């Protein structure tokens, strides 16, 4: 299987997982923006009439919703971060070591020579059967 096929399959999987997340959890960035808008709106309404208990309740509820979605976004970002790796059975959690480890890992992948990228040795081609132009 070539890299193009693997890439295509990964893109399809990514699209499927994004749709699944939106169906099961919801669109977190959209929920966050909506919560911010509602909270700002509630604050401005409360600022115009500070004695209204209904507006105070709405402001408290919108603030709680905003803080909940903010925590969800923060938790999501923290889950995506790479904070440790295991080397020879030892857990490494030093930030600089993590950066160096993953940088070297991907550098080795990108600079690795594959058998398909090596040049053909013309001395090897002299030996053995060869096709003619008519064949």
* pTM given for the model: 0.50
- H helix and E strand count, the chain: 5, 2
Dump pLDDT digits (tens) for 33-52. Answer: 999 999 999 999 999 988 89
Mean pLDDT of the chain: 84
Residue among 100, 98, 35 at smallest CA distance from 68: 35
Angle at 109 between CA 103 and CA 116, to 5 degrees: 160
Residue among 44, 133, 30, 124 at smallest CA distance from 73: 30
HSE, CB side, 13 Å, CA atoms: give it for residue 103: 6
């Amino acid at each position: 299987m070539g890299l193009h096929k693997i890439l295509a399959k990964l893109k399809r999987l990514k699209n499927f997982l994004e749709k699944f997340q939106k169906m099961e959890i919801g669109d977190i960035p959209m929920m966050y923006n909506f919560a911010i808008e509602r909270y700002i709106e509630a604050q401005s309404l409360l600022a115009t009439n500070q004695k209204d208990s209904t507006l105070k309740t709405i402001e408290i509820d919108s603030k709680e919703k905003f803080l909940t979605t903010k925590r969800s976004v923060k938790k999501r970002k923290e889950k995506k971060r790479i904070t440790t790796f295991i080397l020879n059975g030892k857990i490494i959690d030093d930030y600089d070591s993590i950066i160096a480890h993953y940088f070297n890992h991907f550098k080795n992948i990108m600079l690795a020579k594959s058998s398909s990228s090596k040049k053909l040795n013309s001395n090897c081609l002299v030996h053995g059967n060869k096709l003619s132009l008519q064949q």
